[in-house]
Chain A
Amino acid sequence: MEIIQNVLLGFSVALQPINLLYCFIGVLAGTLIGVLPGIGPVTGVAILIPITFGMDPITATIMLAGIYYGAMYGGSTTSILINVPGESASVMTAVDGYQMAKQGRAGAALGMSAFGSFIGGTVSVVGLMFIAPPVAKLALSFGPPEYFVLMLLGLATLTRLAGKNLFKGLGMGFLGMLIGTVGLDPVAGVQRFTFGRADLLDGIGFVSVAMGLFALGEILINIEGSPAERVFSTQIGSLMPTKSDWLACKWTIVRSTIIGFFIGSLPGAGATVSAFMAYAAEKKASKTPERFGQGAIEGVCAAETANNAATGGALVPLLTLGIPSSATVAILMGALMMYGLRPGPLLLTERPDFFWGVVTSMYIGNVMLLVLNLPMIGLWIKILKVPYPVLIPIILLFISLGAYTVGGSYVDLWIMFAFGILGYLMRKFDYPAAPLLLALVLGPIMEKNLKLSLKMSHGSIAIFFQRPITLILIALIVFSLVWPLLVSRFSKGKQALELPVVDE
């Protein structure tokens, strides 16, 4: 059994004391970031990248991954207790969670979120272990045309899912690709839009862009409004869900784990969309859908199970194809490339210790999170009471430091600043930020694969229509673009689902 050998190899890496320590630091920092409104997982991972310089790439990635899935746990706490989602993937948790808190059942909601998260998170790691190797094997036969079409599919799903206005999502994707053309042309090596500046030759650093768009933009929005009083509505009560809670949620957990994992693994979807879909599916499956929104424990459980299950799913395309599925994963991918690793099908065969070490560390991290979250709930609430005016300057300092150290030049400080203003305006004018960042990361890789494909075919685009895998992928692109139109056509009169703004 090859897989058992691999898992043992993974544990032998993940259980090294240094890796255990950084896994713990990662999930702890992740929970904290999830708890604090105003900084989401994108910012959290970006801020901590500089700290990983000089670390072993495995240790560093274990920590950064811990921040990613840790944030999904932490986000539920604030959603339930004060109706303020710590990050966008917890928006659906707040719907029923806060109602439960008002009815004095905050403890059960928190407990069920933690257990649901644990089960969803752990099962999705198993899924990742079984699905990644065959996908990577298949991907080994991919050439530039397959990669190009695959990335096109990623961008198509992303823009389709980000917000209600298709043109806004697409527009931000194209804007990101345009910004991605700054720097050296990936094939010919000609300078483009660099204004003769040497520090722009490598292009616009996406860590600075991410910090600006997501962190600074969010801070400016928060500063604009007058700080609202945060009121804790009730006593928390017992954290253990009752037997009837478990019975109600039994199938919810199974369904939400599956939905979360698969939606999470779609390029462009991510944890927020997963939580949303799982919630909608539960409401549909329920015999008493009218309870949803009034404090149904299945609602809390569905959203939290799915957003954690999505984290394992999201790593499938990253580790096997080198394609990030959400903005947070894009930052993670950037970090891997900084460590000199090439995320893609070869990663599994070239660095099995890396792949299996990181994957098995996620089991350990999930156990740590379960232990951390329930008994320490009091501490998280205390942290929530830190006034926002104290946090703002410190977060600002960290993002400036992060942009400067990762980019290594003053230009990055200004890029962060400019994208912060842009991020603020995008929120005000209701534009999604995730497509811009993802397209910025994918754009240059797409361009390179497009050019290589055209070189192979001597300039004919027929190459994209002559290969079986590209044909399947093109069919999927057409389907993903047309399907929502069909749905809205046939479900006239029914209320359309409206996604929250995705900020992961």
Chain B
Amino acid sequence: MTERTADTISGLFLIAVALVAAAAAQFLPTTIAKEFAGPSFMPTLVSMALGICGAGIVFKARSIPQTQRMPGWSETDRAGAIRIAVVALAIAAYNLLLEPLGYLIVTFAFLVFLLWYLKVSWFLNLIISLIATVSTYAMFVIWLKVVLPMGLLEFYF
């Protein structure tokens, strides 16, 4: 991707965020009990400023030479994009399953999966996953008294 395209896209994105936020702010009360600058004041002001910055980025992008490529972008590297998608999905799955299945099961599975995916040997994988799961449990639940969901194993705790 060229730098010009990247800046244009991200600038337009900021403008879109600003428009949505400014519109949403109009549903807030403008003043409560004769307050100057009521609840809608700050969101409106800030989203307007954000929109101006977005426009500034888009405008400035036009002066970037068309040939200038964005550093760190490569069209051919599919493998990298897949790695990111897999890790992101693993985190999303962790967040979703934490409550129903419980901390111990989900954490162990999460670590085993990621270590396997990142090509760590099975022996090391299982040892790290087991130690990390048990020791974080000991630290957070037993020592720091944090309540973590136990899910399926709730009965035993």
> Contact at A401–B46, with CB atoms within 8 Å?
no
A421 to B87 alpha-carbon distance, docked (Å): 11
> Is A167 a contact of B91 with CB atoms below 8 Å?
no
A171 close to B80 (CB less than 8 A) = no
Which interface residue of B57, B107, B145 has the most chain A CB atoms within 10 A? B57
B interface footprint on A34-68 (CB within 8 Å = 1, 0 otherwise): 00000000000000001101100000000000000
Question: What distance in Å separates the Cβ of B133 from its nearest Cβ neighbour in chain A?
Answer: 8
A390 CB contact (under 8 Å) in B36, B57, B128: B128
Q: Within the complex, what minimum Cβ distance (angstroms) separates B24 from chain A?
A: 7
Determine the distance from Cα of A185 to Cα of B56 in the docked complex, in whole angstroms. Answer: 29
Task: Indicate the member of B9, B14, B36, B146 with the most A CB atoms within 10 Å.
Answer: B36
For A51, give the chain B residue with the smallest CB separation. Answer: B144
Q: Mark contacts of B50-66 with chain A using CB atoms, 8 A cut-off: 1 yes-contact digit, 0 otherwise.
A: 10011011001000000
Contact mask for chain A residues 354-394; partner B; CB cutoff 8 A; 1 contact, 0 none: 00000000000000000000000000000000010110111
A54 and B114 form a contact (CB under 8 A)? no
Binds B, one of A262-270, A281-289, A342-350, A424-432: A424-432
B123 within 8 A of A: no
The residues of B that contact A404 with a CB separation of less than 8 Å are 98, 148
A387 x B120 contact (CB < 8 A): yes
What residue of chain B has the Cβ atom nearest to residue A52's Cβ? B144
| Contact between chains at B107 and A181 (CB < 8 Å) | no
Contacts of B140 in A (CB 8 A): 50, 401, 405
Least distance between B49 CB and chain A CB atoms (Å): 5
A224/B92 in contact, CB under 8 A: no
- Alpha-carbon distance A155/B56, docked complex (angstroms): 18
Number of residues on chain B facing chain A (CB within 8 A): 65
Whether A417 touches B36, Cβ cut-off 8 Å, given contacts A168-B57, A401-B140, is no
Q: B37 near A454 (CB under 8 angstroms)?
A: yes
**A388, chain B: closest CB distance, angstroms:** 8
Which of B9, B11, B70, B88 has most A Cβ within 10 Å?
B88
Q: For chain B residues 110-157, which have a beta carbon within 8 Å of chain A?
A: 110-111, 114-115, 118-120, 124, 128, 132, 136, 139-140, 144-146, 148
Stretch with Cβ within 8 A of B (4 or more), from A114-122, A172-180, A478-486: A172-180
B118 touches A430 (CB 8 A): no
Which residues of chain A (203-229) have a CB below 8 Å from chain B? 216, 219-221, 223-226
Q: Which 10 A-B pairs have the closest CB atoms?
A: A171-B53, A389-B118, A167-B56, A224-B80, A393-B114, A459-B36, A454-B36, A174-B50, A188-B32, A185-B39
User: Interface residues, chain A, CB within 8 Å of chain B?
Assistant: 50-51, 53-54, 165-168, 170-171, 174-175, 177-178, 181, 185, 187-188, 190, 192-193, 216, 219-221, 223-226, 387, 389-390, 392-394, 396-398, 400-401, 404-405, 410, 413-414, 417, 420-421, 424, 427-431, 443, 447, 450-451, 454-455, 458-459
Would you mind naming 26 contact pairs between A and B with Cβ atoms under 8 Å apart? A51-B144, A54-B144, A168-B57, A174-B47, A178-B17, A178-B43, A185-B38, A188-B32, A188-B33, A188-B39, A190-B29, A192-B39, A226-B80, A389-B119, A389-B120, A390-B118, A393-B128, A401-B136, A401-B140, A424-B84, A429-B10, A443-B46, A450-B42, A451-B37, A454-B36, A459-B36
